[in-house]
Structure 1
Amino acid sequence: LGIIFYELLAEASPFNLSDCTAYEAEQIILTKHPDKPSSKASSKQKAQAIRGDLNAIALKAIRKEPKRRYRMATEFLEDLNHYLDGLPVSARTNSFRYRASKFTARHKKSLTASAIALMLIIGLSGYYTLRIAEERDHAKVEALKAQNTKEILVNIFKANDPISGDAETATLPKLLENGTKNVLQRNLDPEVKIELLFTLSTIYQNISDFDKARQLVDTTLKFSNRHFGSNAVTTARGHIKLGGIAYDLGNYEEGKEELITSKKILADKNPSHPVYSTLYHHLGFVEEGMSNYDSAKVYFQKALNNVTQQTRVDTALYIDIIKSLGRTIHREGDYKTADSLMFKALKTSEHFNGKNDAVTASIAGDIGLYYMTRAKYDSSRIYYQQSLDIKNKLYNKNPHPNHSATLTNLGVLESYVGNNAVAESLFTQALTIDTKLYGNDHPYVAFSKGHLASIYFEKKQYEKAKQLREEQLTIYQNNYEPDHYNMAGFYHEYGNLFSATSEYQKAHSYYKESENIYSKYISENDDTFAKLYEDWALNDYKMKRYQEAIEKFRKAADTFIPSKYDEYKVRGAKCLINAAKSHAALDQINQAEDILEKLKSHMDTTTVLAQNEDIQTLYN
């Protein structure tokens, strides 16, 4: 209300934010004081009329400190009426001189000033009545949402009360099941119910219970169609949710179809509607999943443009979009720009959420991940540790999924640098948390068992590794379809285990199964295939299937060598050397020499290869 009044007086906004980013705009609004409206008036006469009381009223209406603003619209309008009547206004200092001047001038008020104020009140009376009604209705809905959310959360987590519930056996899925039944059975306001169901579906999605998440979204879509129609924004949001679930399952084409459906529903909506931020963000995800990185970048940029145009910027979404754009640019190898975006996300979260917030911790963890992929392990550890320290403060000894994720990521880092004892401890902590949160038969528990198995594999404790892999397989089979994307990764690792124990034929069959599943989800030039072919080729070599080994080593090298990542360049060079060895084993000396000659030329012009001792040793 105050902003609109200011703009009507000054014919300009309190701040010029046209060339600012969302963060810069927030900083200006939070730290700067607006000029008096009279200083922006279009004429001296109007400036003169605005000076004094009208300046004071406008500035009081938009003060940063809540205690110094008008508490309600009636106080604001009361001051305007006092101004018209020549009475003192509460926005001005209540001095004797001021009150005396108002008394003497009460009947001499200029017609221009009175006319302006009268026009403002007449114009505002209708316009603001609508705006206030809209704000009031919106506030009622939000208050109702908040109240219902509070009550439902209390009911969901009531089972964790050691007096009224079974604190030892209640897992997160069980608690969510109780809360979901509660929401479905209640006779709630349609908007409130839809928001709660969307929220619960997101929670199920986040803990990988995709069937339950999809069921809730389907229920929500039917509810939205019944109450608001098939072209409602809530219906479009339902299809966005389904697209996100399909994306998480690796079904990128299906996800894209759902998102296109949402886009068609929104065709008659204002292109600046905030729902487009989420739609474009998800479209970016599916394009990224299909390795269409240029398209993904375009969508992430569209999402960022949309979210920063909003009057009220959704800070959480803004941060997520910056992270996504940073990830895409990081993949292109433009690390400077990517790092800039990630640190911008970190600073934004620290400012709005606080330095010890879960979102801040998550971003620090993402920065740690990017440094790890670039083999900057010391820098990676700093940000992983920052993330872990925040989560230790937040969750203390209480299990939380975010805590487990950071322990796992830090464990992966330590395993990369050979600190297997540290990694084992971190993975064990993560497994304990996941088991307590989700029970024994959840995919997250399987993930943690898989990480521990990889440590035992590195330590050549193959029986322990095999036991954990078998437990992991049982959980996967209980939760996933046979051709689920995650099954492909498991079969790859399982194949490595059998190859290490000289069970080469078994390893070969698992590698083949992995390839069959991956081919349904990703293109053959994806680095996931390169990693599979690298290990599979080594197994073929051990089986003396040299020609098959050559083909796979070459495929892996074709992906690794052009990569922006130094680690992949090194792995690609090793694949070429092993391909040459395979040619030599077939007495194909000319082919072997040809590969090595080309590799030598590449090594001479690639610093990371020229300086890598392992490559030099293998080559020589």
Structure 2
Amino acid sequence: MENKSLINKLSLTYSNLALVLERIGNLKEAKESILQSIHIVKEYLNGNEVLLAKYYNNLGFIYLKVFEYKKNIRSSTNNELDLAKKYINRSLRLFRKIIGENHLHYCSILNNLGMVYEKEGNFNEAKKKYMQGINNIKVIGQVNHKILSQLESNLGSASWMSGDFKEGEELLLSALERDISIYGQIHLEVAMDLEKLALMYFESKQFEKSANYYLNAYNIFKKTVGRFTPTTVLCLENLFYIKRLQDDSKEIKRIFPILLEASKKLYGENHVNVTNLKKLSKTYVL
């Protein structure tokens, strides 16, 4: 019994490590770590279905992040999105069978599945999953839980992407307010909320507002996950693009060397993103 407890803790350690590695952009290592968790459960814990449900959800989430990263660097995305959907759906079925739908972890799985549908461009199905998660949380009575903020934030993004900017803005601002009350001003969840608002304002051509939100998000990303992670660099790329649209020469010249250094660190000297930046060097270097 004691050995089984230690093995259980080992599997949880690998799972938690995978999520930390994902946050700092080490996606290959994150995938290997969560696969190790799954192997331990199957090999030494008699295929404990509750643990497998949790770990399959995490694995699907990591595949989703791999898809997002590859898409950003213009690399072939292969079948990462299909794998994300496969494992998250497997997690959903297991969890529903064992524990049922009125549980916070089930709502978290719905949130991840909604994000997969969103990446597919199926905003109606994404919104259904987010709404189902929100309604389940209300039934549970956990209306101040962080998962509600995640669901609300993602529902906001799916809403404006499907044409309802007013509802999208209201939901995103509500999620931002709740996350600040839960975590404080300097937290990764807050930065992600700000980034979603920045993208929405960009798409509605409110460039100054968008730039301000991207800048605030970037400053928090730097402090929480570091300067050279995919999340941080992409945020800075978006801010730089807006400043070019605005022809804000002062900000362009300030941001350019920071972005070039970060892009070299993240992508490598010969990557297309770095090559394209180097072509701009004569224009933007003081």
**Paired residue for 1:253, among 82, 86, 91?**
82
C-alpha spacing 1:456/1:376, structure 2 compared with 1 (3 Å): farther
2:113 touches 2:126 (CA, 8 Å); kept in 1?
yes
2:269 touches 2:275 (CA, 8 Å); kept in 1?
no
C-alpha spacing 1:457/1:333, structure 2 compared with 1 (3 Å): farther
- Correspondence for 2:71: none
- What are the Cα deviations for residues 534-592 of structure 1, in whole angstroms up to 9, with x where unaligned? xxxxxxxxxxxxxxxxxxxxxxxxxxxxxxxxxxxxxxxxxxxxxxxxxxxxxxxxxxx
Cα distance, 1:313 vs. partner?
Answer: 5.9
Find the aligned partners of 2:202 and 2:159 in 1 and give their Cα distance.
Answer: 16
C-alpha spacing 1:190/1:416, structure 2 compared with 1 (3 Å): farther
2:221 touches 2:227 (CA, 8 Å); kept in 1?
no
- The SS at the match of 1:298 is helix
- The SS at the match of 1:288 is helix
1:414 touches 1:422 (CA, 8 Å); kept in 2?
yes
**Paired residue for 1:342, among 129, 154, 172?**
172
The 5 Å alignment of 1:159-178 reads none
- What are the Cα deviations for residues 189-215 of structure 1, in whole angstroms up to 9, with x where unaligned? 344333321122123334444332222
Q: Which has the higher contact order (CA 8 A, sep 6+)?
A: 2
1:408 touches 1:448 (CA, 8 Å); kept in 2?
no
Asked whether 1:377 is paired with 2:207, we answer: yes
Find the aligned partners of 1:284 and 1:356 in 2 and give their Cα distance.
Answer: 26
- Correspondence for 1:41: none
1:408 touches 1:426 (CA, 8 Å); kept in 2?
no
Cα distance, 1:391 vs. partner?
Answer: 5.8
- Correspondence for 2:76: none
2:146 touches 2:182 (CA, 8 Å); kept in 1?
no
Where structure 1 has 5 or more consecutive residues not aligned to the other structure, the ranges are 1-186, 462-620
Query: Counterpart amino acid of 1:223?
Result: I
1:404 touches 1:433 (CA, 8 Å); kept in 2?
yes
1:342 touches 1:367 (CA, 8 Å); kept in 2?
yes
- Correspondence for 1:416: 245
Choose 187-196 or 218-227, whichever is displaced more. 187-196
The 5 Å alignment of 1:180-199 reads 189-199=6-16
- Correspondence for 2:106: 276
2:41 touches 2:48 (CA, 8 Å); kept in 1?
no
Find the aligned partners of 1:314 and 1:242 in 2 and give their Cα distance.
Answer: 27
2:244 touches 2:252 (CA, 8 Å); kept in 1?
yes
Cα distance, 1:299 vs. partner?
Answer: 0.9
- What are the Cα deviations for residues 471-522 of structure 1, in whole angstroms up to 9, with x where unaligned? xxxxxxxxxxxxxxxxxxxxxxxxxxxxxxxxxxxxxxxxxxxxxxxxxxxx
Find the aligned partners of 2:269 and 2:243 in 1 and give their Cα distance.
Answer: 17
- Correspondence for 1:300: 130
Asked whether 1:365 is paired with 2:195, we answer: yes
The 5 Å alignment of 1:78-227 reads 189-227=6-44
C-alpha spacing 1:372/1:278, structure 2 compared with 1 (3 Å): same
1:408 touches 1:427 (CA, 8 Å); kept in 2?
no
- The SS at the match of 1:275 is helix
- The SS at the match of 1:189 is helix
Find the aligned partners of 2:241 and 2:269 in 1 and give their Cα distance.
Answer: 12
Asked whether 1:426 is paired with 2:243, we answer: no
RMSD: 3.3
Cα distance, 1:368 vs. partner?
Answer: 1.6
- Correspondence for 2:75: none
2:267 touches 2:274 (CA, 8 Å); kept in 1?
no
Find the aligned partners of 1:204 and 1:383 in 2 and give their Cα distance.
Answer: 26
**Paired residue for 1:265, among 94, 111, 114?**
94
- What are the Cα deviations for residues 419-464 of structure 1, in whole angstroms up to 9, with x where unaligned? 46633542431443566xxxx5xxx335996555445556898xxx
C-alpha spacing 1:387/1:214, structure 2 compared with 1 (3 Å): closer
Decide which structure has greater helix share. 2
- What are the Cα deviations for residues 122-175 of structure 1, in whole angstroms up to 9, with x where unaligned? xxxxxxxxxxxxxxxxxxxxxxxxxxxxxxxxxxxxxxxxxxxxxxxxxxxxxx
Cα distance, 1:216 vs. partner?
Answer: 1.4
- Correspondence for 1:232: 49
C-alpha spacing 1:259/1:364, structure 2 compared with 1 (3 Å): closer
Query: Counterpart amino acid of 2:160?
Result: H
**Paired residue for 1:241, among 52, 58, 61?**
58
